[in-house]
Amino acid sequence: MAKKIPKSLKRSIVKALLNEEELTPAQVSERVNADPELPENYRKTPKQMAFVMNQVVKELNGVEMVVLSRNGVSHHGNERFRKAYRATYETLDEADEELGVINKPTKRLKQITVNLPDDCVAYIKAWREAGVSAGRAVENLIRADMEANGLPDSSADEV
């Protein structure tokens, strides 16, 4: 069994193929490697991309292989081909749906560390057992306080 291709790499490949007629593995590799959303360790050489593209064609219904020309016979007696690939998806959202990619929320969350007494930690643990994350439980408390009291004034910073 072949190694699983990461969703972010598949998404980047589909994004590269989406608005083009047909691309060779070298062209796909060039576009995918230039994608700023793709992690550095997923970059591929054209030869690696040719292997990955063969797997992508098998896994995704919206990516097709096109034979450009015959390229002789291998020493095993198998025919060789020059291949290109194209996407049949209408939009990137359609591709994301098949890939199972979940778009990250646009607002960024910040992480802080706080020291709390045992009873407050027990409160958070109780919410966690009810299926609410610790961050969400604290966020709900803060939002309720903001609704009731508004934001603190600037003199509160001096405390």
The rounded distance, in Å, linking the Cα atoms of 63 and 147 is 50
Most confidently modeled of 25-29, 90-94, 97-101, 128-132? 25-29
CA-CA-CA-CA torsion sign (63, 68, 70, 76): negative
Q: Kindly report the CATH class assigned to 7-99.
A: mainly alpha
Distance, in Å, from the CA atom of 95 to the CA atom of 71, rounded to the nearest integer, reads 31
How do residues 84-98 score in pLDDT, each as one tens digit? 999 988 888 888 788
CA distance 21 to 46: 18
Q: pLDDT value at position 159?
A: 46
Q: Would you list the domain boundaries of the chain?
A: 7-99, 118-158
CB 14 within 8 A of CB 98: no
| pTM of this structure | 0.60
